[in-house]
Amino acid sequence: MFMKKNKKFFKYFREYQWSNILAMIKNNRSDPKICSDDFKNKFVVISGATSGIGYYTAKKFAAKGANLICINRNIQKSKDLCREIESEFGVKCDYLIADLSILKDIYQVAEQLINYNTPIDVIIHNAGIYLTKKEVTNDGLEKVFVVHHLSTFIINYLLMDKLISQQQARIIMVGSEGHRFAAWGIHIDDLNWEKHRYSGLKSYGTAKTAQLLSMIVFDEKFRNTGVTINTVHPGAVKSETGQENGPVYRWFKKNFLDKTLKSPDISAEALYYLGVAKEIEAVSGKFFNLTTEEEPAPPALDKEVAYELWNKSMELAGLDK
Ligand SMILES: NC(=O)c1ccc[n+]([C@@H]2O[C@H](COP(=O)([O-])OP(=O)(O)OC[C@H]3O[C@@H](n4cnc5c(N)ncnc54)[C@H](OP(=O)(O)O)[C@@H]3O)[C@@H](O)[C@H]2O)c1
What ranges do the domains of the chain cover?
9-27+35-317
Q: Which of 51, 105, 212, 245 to mutate to test the pocket of ligand 1 (most atoms within 8 A of CB)?
A: 51
Please provide residue 237's backbone torsions phi and psi, each rounded to the nearest 5 degrees. -125, 160
- If one counts every other C-beta atom within 10 angstroms of the C-beta of residue 9, the result is 12
* Mean pLDDT, residues 192-218: 97
Model pLDDT for residues 10-48, shown as the tens digit of each residue: 999 999 999 999 999 999 999 999 999 999 999 999 999
Contact between 63 and 74 (Cβ < 8 Å): no
265-276 helix and 52-63 helix, angle to the nearest 10 degrees: 50
Which one of the listed residues 56, 95, 204, 272 is annotated catalytic?
Answer: 204
Mean pLDDT across 140-166: 98
| Ligand 1 atom, smallest distance to 147 CA | 31
Say yes or no to pLDDT of 1 above 50. Answer: no
Q: Please say if 204 is a catalytic residue.
A: yes
Asked if residue 228 has its Cβ within 6 Å of ligand 1, the reply is no
Using pLDDT thresholds of 50, 70 and 90, give the confidence band for residue 3: very low
Q: At what angle do helices 151-166 and 103-115 cross, to 10 degrees?
A: 10
Q: With contact defined as beta carbons under 8 Å apart, do 275 and 44 qualify?
A: yes
d(CA 196, CA 98): 30
Residue type, 150: L
Residue range 9-27+35-317 in CATH 3.30.70.260: no
4 CA to centre of ligand 1 in angstroms: 32
CA separation for the pair 112, 151 (Å, rounded) = 14
* Residue 62 pLDDT level (bands cut at 50, 70, 90): very high
For the entire predicted model, the pTM comes to: 0.96
Q: Is the pLDDT of residue 2 over 50?
A: no
For residue 269, pLDDT over 70 is answered with yes
